[in-house]
A and B are shown apart, each in its own frame.
Chain A
Amino acid sequence: EEQLVESGGGSIQPGGSLRLSCAASGFTVSSNYMSWVRQAPGKGLEWVSVIYSGGGTYYAGSVKGRFTISRDSSMNTLYLQMNSLRADDTAMYYCARDSRGPFQWGQGTLVTVSS
């Protein structure tokens, strides 16, 4: 069964760092486009970042320079390294397999940035 399972969320103070993980099963992360999408409490969906099957990356302007998307082929896992976290980064973070847009989603991991 194809599945995505996120982990690594939690509470962190402003300015801190956190690394999210997304473990995939049933398919190969490195052969797919993989995205991160977030949703602030009570708000809409916001696309965050993508890593192409070829390894290229792209980021939303709101996170560029602070977040880094990567993958580990041996672990079949996607990551999102988040630095210089701000209160407005508070959100549920979803990883998703992407083909003509995200189509297979994990259950999400909650990140709360607060002092």
Chain B
Amino acid sequence: DIQMTQSPSSLSASVGDRVTITCRASQGIGNDLGWYQQIPGKAPKRLIYAASTLQSGVPSRFSGSGSGTEFTLTISSLQPEDFATYYCLQHNSYPLTFGGGTKVEIK
């Protein structure tokens, strides 16, 4: 199985800050990576697929980059509604595997 290591596990940031979250795959997965946002009590929401393609309707302050084993999610200017937990997911091969999550909290 492909292991996904996400860092940091949590971070504190202020509104307007630039935030970067990293995901590392245990083996190369091309660009078969998605990023998800989950607000407590809600279902996850996909933000990005194919490593860098923004899901329809997602604000442009979210961006993704990377390929192979190293991937990054960037929020260019953190907004109040962005405080949530973020997960990466590899869909290169089954079983699909998620990263452990990054909780973004208000500083």
Tell whether A pairs with B. yes
Q: Which residues of A line the B interface, CB within 8 A?
A: 35, 37, 44-47, 50, 58-61, 94, 100-103, 105-108
B87 contacts A by Cβ under 8 Å: yes
B69 contacts A by Cβ under 8 Å: no
Contact A44 B95 (CB under 8 A): no
Please name all residues of chain A whose beta carbon is closer than 8 Å to the beta carbon of B101 when the two chains form the complex: 44-45
Q: A6 to chain B: closest CB distance in Å?
A: 10
Contact A47 B97 (CB under 8 A): yes
- Name the one of A60, A100, A108 contacting B91, with C-beta atoms under 8 angstroms: A100
Q: Which residue of A lies closest to B46 (CB)?
A: A103
Q: B97 to chain A: closest CB distance in Å?
A: 7
Contact B44 A47 (CB under 8 A): no
Contact A103 B49 (CB under 8 A): yes
Cα distance A18–B25 when bound, in Å?
34
Contact A103 B87 (CB under 8 A): no
Give chain B interface residues in 16-71, CB to chain A under 8 Å.
32, 34, 36, 38, 43-46, 49-50, 55
Please name all residues of chain B whose beta carbon is closer than 8 Å to the beta carbon of A35 when the two chains form the complex: 96
Q: A12 to chain B: closest CB distance in Å?
A: 22
Contact A44 B94 (CB under 8 A): no
Cα distance A46–B36 when bound, in Å?
13
Q: Which residue of B lies closest to A43 (CB)?
A: B101
Contact B96 A47 (CB under 8 A): yes
Give chain B interface residues in 65-97, CB to chain A under 8 Å.
87, 89, 91, 94-97
Enumerate 15 A-B pairs (CB-CB under 8 Å) in ascending A order: A35-B96, A45-B36, A45-B87, A45-B98, A45-B101, A47-B89, A47-B96, A47-B98, A58-B95, A60-B95, A94-B43, A101-B46, A101-B89, A103-B46, A103-B49
